[in-house]
Copies of this chain bind each other. A is one copy, B any other.
Amino acid sequence: MHIVCSDLEGVFVPEIWINVALKTGIEDLKLTTRDISDYDVLMRRRLSILAAHQLKLQDITAVIAGMDPLEGALEFLDWLRPQTPIIVVSDTFTQFAGPLMKKLGWPTLFCHSLEVAPDGAITGYRLRQPDSKRRAAQSLRQLNFKIIGMGDSYNDINLLQEADTGILFRPPENVVREFPQFPVTRDYEELKPLIRAALAKG
């Protein structure tokens, strides 16, 4: 039996932090791991920026609620759901993802969580575990699933490497060059035949 393990941001929904930066006008929230490579330093910086602007969880989720999934994402998931179980494995936070997962018909999401004070202030974050995408694939393999892994960027490569079938979706050019072993897809219609072929392998 197969299972699809897919990244979220860049595959089904836009990048959340970048959109929060755009919609709040807070430029500093555009920082990514390309600017600050240490994820914990980056996250603590983001949370201090939110605090400095007195932005609480409800403010951020209101912004996220105004975002939409990528065009065609819901239709693609509706095509996929009858064929195979799906787990979305993401480095986002459960509280941020909610409004977008609702618009995607609530696929099962494995991600991290935020620590939130009673007034909605985001006081910290909890990674469910390090290297969470690879670990998810390893655990599902132990359950005798054949894994179709999908992702768009560096932090998905461990997942794609653990998967029986790894597929890149709209990756940046450097990822394409560095990992030529993975087929590259640019839209959902290109994904479908690759998934059909993987499922047909039995």
Chain A positions near chain B (C-beta within 8 angstroms): 1, 81-82, 85-87, 94, 98, 102, 105-110, 112-113, 126, 128-129, 132, 135-136, 139-140, 142-145
- Cα-based distance from A113 to B85 in the complex (angstroms): 12
Which residues of the partner chain B approach A81 to less than 8 Å between Cβ atoms?
106
- In the complex, are the beta carbons of A85 and B98 less than 8 A apart? no
Cβ contact of A87, chosen from B108, B128, B136, cutoff 8 A: B108
Q: How many copies does the complex hold?
A: 2
Contact of A109 (CB < 8 Å), options: B85, B112, B113: B85
Q: Are B105 and A129 in contact (CB under 8 A)?
A: no
Give A160 Cβ to nearest chain B Cβ, in Å.
Answer: 18
* A94 cross-chain contacts in B, Cβ below 8 A: 1
Asked if B108 contacts A107 (CB within 8 A), the reply is: yes
Contact A105 B105 (CB under 8 A): yes
12 contacts between A and B (CB under 8 A): A1-B113, A87-B108, A105-B105, A105-B106, A108-B108, A110-B143, A128-B144, A128-B145, A129-B143, A129-B144, A135-B142, A139-B139
When C-beta atoms are compared, the residue in chain B nearest to A106 turns out to be: B81
Contacts of A142 in B (CB 8 A): 135, 139
Q: Name A145's closest neighbour in chain B (CB-CB).
A: B128
Q: Could you tell me if A108 and B85 are in contact, using CB atoms closer than 8 angstroms?
A: yes
Cβ contact of A86, chosen from B108, B113, B132, B136, cutoff 8 A: B108
Nearest CB on B from A74, distance (A): 12
Q: Is the CB of A132 within 8 A of B143?
A: yes
- Distance of A94 Cα from B128 Cα, bound (Å): 29
* A107: nearest chain-B partner, CB-CB: B108
Contacts A139-B139, A142-B139 given; does A110 touch B132 at CB 8 Å: no
